[in-house]
Amino acid sequence: MLERLFQLNAHNTNVRTEILAGVTTFLTMAYILFVNPSILGETGMDKGAVFVATCLAAAFGSAVMGLIANYPIALAPGMGLNAFFTYTVVMGMGHTWQVALGAVFLSACLFFLLSIFKIREWIINSIPLELRSAIAAGIGLFLALIALQNAGIVAANPATMVGLGDLGSPAALLAILGFFLIIGMEALRITGAVLISILVVTGLSILLGISEFGGVVSMPPSLAPTFMQLDIAGALDVGLISVIFAFLFVDLFDNSGTLIAVAKKAGLMRKDGHLPKMGRALIADSTAALGGSLLGTSTTTSYIESAAGVSAGGRTGLTAIVVAVLFLFALFFAPLAGSVPAFATAPALLFVAVLMASGMAEIEWSDITVAAPVVVTALAMPLTYSIATGIAFGFITWVAAKTLAGRFRELNGMLVALAIFCVIKLALF
């Protein structure tokens, strides 16, 4: 049955290798079980329900990817997208988390339609690669600011807006230790470095009496507080159009980049650069996002950590199925997730920020019409505390720079239209 479903022999792999690859991928991305409830919980959502929604969304998304596309790519609620959900849409713009879930649902519907009608390639090709790299880097810087705040390393300052926090506090010291642990273990190629760091910092925090121990295993909490609680009508408000498109664009770029990177590493991409079953993979991703919004979590997307499983030999969807099964087992560890303090997940956020900011290396810095929009995009996100605003600033600056430099022919209609839309959005809403 497994051979018929996943064509193991054709991909030069076997069941044992695929299981090992699935376990490896799960360990590298299991930190989301602790980070996602911590972030979404700040909106007022029930953390226990968010934990269950995270497990189920990751299990559903990974299973769909494995069965439909037969790719060794796992899915879970995306980093950056959960921060945008909480800190921009809910806390920044003042919308309820139910409305934010509605925006996630609508963006997933758009993503699904783009995948069905194969418009995705046209949109992605319309956005310059440098601008896509800047968006990823900006999200990374946004996550870094949140991480430093959660750790108490950065604090509010009435004179300068931000300043240095109390580095002598237990929370700051443990967060710094956690980050150094991740860096050291990653350099030594230890699987599950982020997860190990979270557990070590949490353990030390409990031993020192800084946080309370809630247990390890129990029956899963109720999903009822978040299940089907999305407000689609509220999300259709005209002021939320840019939010829906921000969810869509970030998921689109993140998913496409992850698919290409992991497929290359797994040897699944053809010599002409074509990725077989790309459409199926995108449909799986958008379906997972739809399911996640109904369960009660921010956008579910493909994880670049899947590359760890590919390095361990994963080549088929069986790897993703193994990840899905492990996320279902994780449902019974809700008390452990509830015992993790915010400063224990801060190092994970900061580490993800490092990975996302690495895209800046691809920028052509000698071209000022490229460098300026890139820097504006990346800086606007943390400084305005909004991913959507950073994307808007990026589109506007790119079009303005190229136009004023006499290089209007380098632009395309899609990019110009997006820039005009962003100007109108910033001026009126």
Query: Across the 429 residues of the chain, what is the mean pLDDT of every consecutive 10-residue run?
Result: 80 88 90 93 94 96 92 90 90 92 93 82 77 85 89 89 90 95 93 90 94 88 94 84 84 75 71 69 89 94 85 87 95 90 90 84 90 94 85 92 93 88 79
CB neighbours (10 Å) of residue 264?
A: 14
Question: What are the C-alpha distances in Å from 173 to residues 78, 202, 343?
Answer: 27, 13, 9
Burial class (CB in 10 A: 0-12, 13-18, 19+), 361: exposed
Kindly tell me the sign of the dihedral angle through the C-alpha atoms of 279, 283, 64, 259: positive
Q: Give the pLDDT score at 225.
A: 95
Question: What are the C-alpha distances in Å from 130 to residues 79, 124, 372?
Answer: 21, 12, 11
Angle (CA) 271 273 278, round 5°:
120
**Phi and psi dihedrals of 314, rounded to 5?**
-65, 130
Instruction: Tell me which residue has tokens 């909004």.
Output: 386
Q: Give the pLDDT score at 374.
A: 94
C-alpha span between 144 and 136 (Å, rounded): 12
Closest by CA position to 350, among listed 245, 201, 209: 201
**DSSP H helix total and E strand total for the chain:** 20, 4
Q: Give the pLDDT score at 380.
A: 92
Q: Give the pLDDT score at 183.
A: 95
- DSSP one-letter code for 331: G
Q: Give the pLDDT score at 429.
A: 59
Q: Give the pLDDT score at 272.
A: 58
Closest by CA position to 140, among listed 198, 74, 78, 61: 78
Number of compact structural domains in the chain: 1
Question: What are the C-alpha distances in Å from 257 to residues 58, 303, 309, 359?
Answer: 19, 10, 17, 11
SS3 label, residue 276 = coil
Q: Give the pLDDT score at 263.
A: 75
C-alpha span between 129 and 47 (Å, rounded): 37
Question: In which domain, by residue range, is 313 found?
Answer: 2-428
pTM of this prediction exceeds 0.75:
yes
C-alpha span between 56 and 42 (Å, rounded): 20
